[in-house]
Chains A and B, each alone.
Chain A
Amino acid sequence: MKKRVVITGLGVVSPNGVGISAFSEAIKKGISGIAFLPELRDLNFSCQLGAIPKISEEKKREYLSDLQLRNFNSSGILYGVIAGMDALKDARIEPATTEEAPLWDLGIIFGTGTSGVDKFREAIYKIDDKNVRRLGSTSVAQTMASGVSAYLGGLIGAGNMVTANSSACATGTEALLMGYEHIAFGKAKFMLCGSTSDSGPYIWGGFDAMKVTTYKYNDAPKGIAGPMSADASGFVPGSGAGAYLLESLESAQQRGATIYAEILGGAVNNGGQRCGGSMTAPNSLAIQKCIKDALEDSNTEAWEIDYINGHLTATIKDPDEIENWSIALNRKGDRFPFINSLKGMVGHCLAASGSIEIVSAILQLHEGFVFPNVNCENLHPKIASLISSEKISMKMQKTSLQTIAKASFGFGDVNACAIFKKI
């Protein structure tokens, strides 16, 4: 029999707040982490805005030793380590001491798109300069995709599966569902899951070249048309990390841990880059199937969903996403649940988007509120024709939520949807 799985720890490194209390405060107030970045202007980026978490040197030293920080140049690993260790601490789980055996029952699935691009850039310059011998000992650890899970694994002394998944912008949601299954099938007691994404021009450049980011608000970073707005013209690239500590309900109850939510189930699928789907665009049928499969897996009826944390990137695809939710749930107008997107505040945090947004969704479920969907005064007419505008709150609303859905969609036509319930 499958074990019930709950979330007992959260951690977040978001452009609008580092740490759960700062982040919770920020999302309630609709605080933006998006800023004009002169570096992007100097490099001739079309979109000169970006969203980067603020982390002091002092803060870094709380998590990594001077030795670990020597020649360290991987923002994604830093964010992942802070979010992951915070989630562990929040769940009141202690790392193994240096003399002890590893924690055999604790595993890690912490994904990323790519790791340590700044470190990789350093290495490439040295190699081209015929100086490969000067790379130092941590080039590999900082640039391997599993760098973030490996750093966390060492800090914690994790002894179960320690790995990094990668599924573009669905990475964080996929990591949650992989960890969920690992516990549900009794293969681990605790799973630290999440995802991270580097900051800066070398991770964002490809998106700028594809013209999927917005070039219209370089002089007005606070006035960007947000997700679901008729004026939405592309996303702002972001970065950061989100993390959650998963464990069996049994274990959480025995420990007397704070239970943020139960993970009822979910689904991960792929549109096969068919039926309108491609490397970069989603197959709507697959999205609808993913949502329906997630409900079925969770033994949840569509009418039970109180709130949706959308993928909604502030691109021309937002109305299609709303239509897909509406079809999959068979709900429209004022029968549609609350929906919002965090991307108006923190931009699109790419591989970290799913995990930071899951943390925001769990906080809403746990505390009973819906955060404002910022900068959407002019709702897209197609969205307005599908669902009641009251379901997209521009202001923070206190409301009791019981069952919620989170979905993420990514390049490669990947989809992931998870269902959570308050207990």
Chain B
Amino acid sequence: MIDRLTEHRGLDSFDIRYVALIIAILGIGVLSIYSVTRGQQGGAAPYYLKQLIWIGLGAAAFLVMWASDYHHLARFAYPAYAFILLMLVFVLFDGRTSKGAQRWIALGPFSFQPSEFAKLILVLVLAHYYSKAPRVGWLQRVIVPGLLVLPGLLLILKQPDLGSGLSFVAVYAAMLLMVGIRSQALGFMLLFSIMLFPFAWEGLWGSLHDYQRQRIMAFVDPEYDPGGKGYHALQSKIAIGSGELLGKGLYGGTQSQLKFLPEGHTDFVFAVFAEEWGFLGVVVLLTLFVALIWLSLEIASKAKDQLGALLAVGIVAMLCFCVVVNIGMTAGMFPIVGIPLPLVSYGGSATIMTMAALGLLLNVKRKRLSLFY
């Protein structure tokens, strides 16, 4: 009864701040996409308009996730994971290739990227696993969930999609740390990884595609070969740096407007924004992200049960990882691995998935309120 009552509560000030932050970040994204693709015809509908459609669908996903009960959702974690694994297999055989990687499934005029949705489902799976029973011992805490992660990870790396693969590992690591591992287990893990490193390096480096290896090499010294492998990294740095304090103004970004900077509306949208709005704009955007993550962590710490807390932590970890790695790579701190900036980069699957994840977070918070009522 009490639960019922509380579920019909309206928005409180927390919710309003939370949603306002999301809308502000989305707005920055649409503006930047509009600016960089203004003169360009990406088919009949311009990119910013399509992004607005994705945001509309994302809002629907947000509301659905918010309105449902995460306990119910967690119960479907394993079947959903099995389904997404099937999709990932399907994508390998029948997916659409774009720039040398098979990531998309075509659905009529649309195509979607199962690896994006796989991340959210992984959070659900791990949260469900850890909260279902007390998992003790390093076998139950580390190895079993690791084996859960592995098939998805391998399928995503095979596409190849290094960025999504790394997010997978990040989510796993974050949740592991939250659950807590015995120092002994950590010791073993460290030991094993050091022992396995030479083999892993061989296997990993060998399995990377040429362009991935080149990008990692380019990260080491982009200036060495400005026309070749380090092109993206260097152009992105020039774009960000040339924005200086105040930026070049909307549409003023010569780097992006003159097509020196490739992928300006997707992975490198942060560079476009930084070029046009300068350091001040960057500080505003970073502040918005930090505030959103702060509120999300608030939800995690006040969650009613372990499932809720773990879900929240997993989602926050995923979000943080993408934000940090994306900004880091555009700013030349990390190699370019192809991770979009959540809520800002153009892309249907990523936008819808991120908004669904944020809706799920708010769902965790709503359940928490009912406890205190």
Chain A complexes with chain B? no
- Interface positions of B (Cβ within 8 A of A): none
